[in-house]
């Protein structure tokens, strides 16, 4: 019997992704564009949060958005109407974006005339967090109706992001949601995280969010 060939995989499966991600960051720095990766579960209000940010900042900085969805162009049209430059990316079933896909979106958006670029990732609390997209900052949006127990169920995303936006605080009275308990759970996973409660619908908290954006952009 022919001897069985046994081999070892020496290369990390994410090595190529990290290489592209690092190259993307260098490219964006050369273009003076700052990329923020936005992650959340479906229905948390990523797009409505971005619209609030765009409306607040469009007279101060040039904003672009790469919308990633399995299908449809609803979100891209929404942020475009708000005043951002936008492109729509269809993933055809993929539940995350990697660095190569993000770079394709960046090239399609043509970021040379932009200051701040958002990558609205696929609605999913699991897959997107495993891939470096080339973003300078990562943020997550969690809505009040999702519950304050999400950090217990999906710790990886809360442990990675730089900012947690807690959306839909205008309906908090209708849900069994404890903001203090949420913050305690999140900070056990990520002691350096910033947490900003907002209502994209009423505008409450949006000023604090845009202040964070401008401070991050200026330092970046």
Assigned domain for 23 exists: yes
Cβ atoms within 10 Å of 130's Cβ, excluding its own? 13
Q: Read off the pLDDT of residues 54-72 as tens digits, 9 standing for 90 and up.
A: 999 999 999 999 998 877 7
What residues does 68 pair with on adjacent strands?
89
Q: Closest by alpha carbon to 146, among 25, 20, 52, 43? A: 43
Assigned domain for 169 exists: yes
Q: Read off the pLDDT of residues 138-154 as tens digits, 9 standing for 90 and up.
A: 999 999 999 999 999 99
Tell me the mean pLDDT in the region 116-121. Answer: 97
Assigned domain for 7 exists: no
Host domain of residue 149 = 15-219
Q: What is the DSSP string of 100-169?
A: HHHHHHHHHHTGGG-SEEEEE--S-SSSGGGS--S-SEEEEEEEGGG-TTHHHH-HHHHHH-SEEEEE-G
* Residue 58's CATH number: 3.40.50.300
What does the alpha-carbon distance between residue 68 and residue 122 come to, in Å, rounded to a whole number?
Answer: 6
Cβ atoms of 212 and 163 closer than 8 Å:
yes
Confidence of residue 10 (pLDDT cuts 50, 70, 90): very low
pLDDT of res. 195: 98
Cβ atoms within 10 Å of 99's Cβ, excluding its own? 23
Residue 171's Cβ-count burial label (10 Å; 0-12, 13-18, 19+) is: middle
* 7 pLDDT more than 60: no
What does the alpha-carbon distance between residue 18 and residue 213 come to, in Å, rounded to a whole number?
Answer: 25
Assigned domain for 5 exists: no
What residues does 34 pair with on adjacent strands?
116
Assigned domain for 85 exists: yes
Assigned domain for 103 exists: yes
Counting the structural domains of the chain, the total is: 1
Residue with tokens 């932009």: 114
Assigned domain for 182 exists: yes
Q: What is this structure's pTM?
A: 0.91
**Mean confidence (pLDDT) of the chain:** 91
Assigned domain for 1 exists: no
């Amino acid at each position: 019997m022919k001897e069985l060939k046994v081999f070892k995989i020496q290369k990390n499966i994410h090595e190529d992704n990290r290489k592209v991600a690092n190259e993307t960051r260098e490219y964006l720095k050369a273009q003076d564009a700052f990329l923020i990766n936005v992650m959340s579960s479906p229905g948390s209000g990523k797009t409505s949060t971005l619209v609030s940010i765009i409306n607040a900042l469009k007279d101060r900085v040039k904003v672009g958005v790469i919308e990633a969805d399995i299908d449809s162009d609803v979100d891209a049209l929404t942020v475009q109407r708000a005043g951002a430059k936008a492109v729509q990316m269809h993933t055809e079933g993929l539940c995350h974006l990697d660095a190569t896909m993000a770079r394709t979106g960046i090239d399609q958006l043509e970021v040379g005339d932009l200051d701040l670029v958002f990558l609205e990732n696929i609605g999913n609390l699991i897959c997107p967090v495993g891939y470096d997209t080339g973003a300078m900052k990562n943020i997550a949006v969690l809505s009040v109706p999702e519950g304050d127990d999400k950090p217990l169920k999906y710790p990886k995303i809360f442990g990675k992001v730089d900012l947690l936006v807690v959306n839909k605080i205008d309906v908090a009275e209708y849900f069994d949601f404890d903001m203090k308990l949420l913050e305690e759970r999140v900070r056990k996973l990520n002691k350096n995280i910033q947490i900003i409660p907002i209502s994209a619908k009423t505008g409450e908290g949006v000023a604090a969010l845009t202040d964070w954006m401008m401070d991050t952009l200026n330092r970046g």
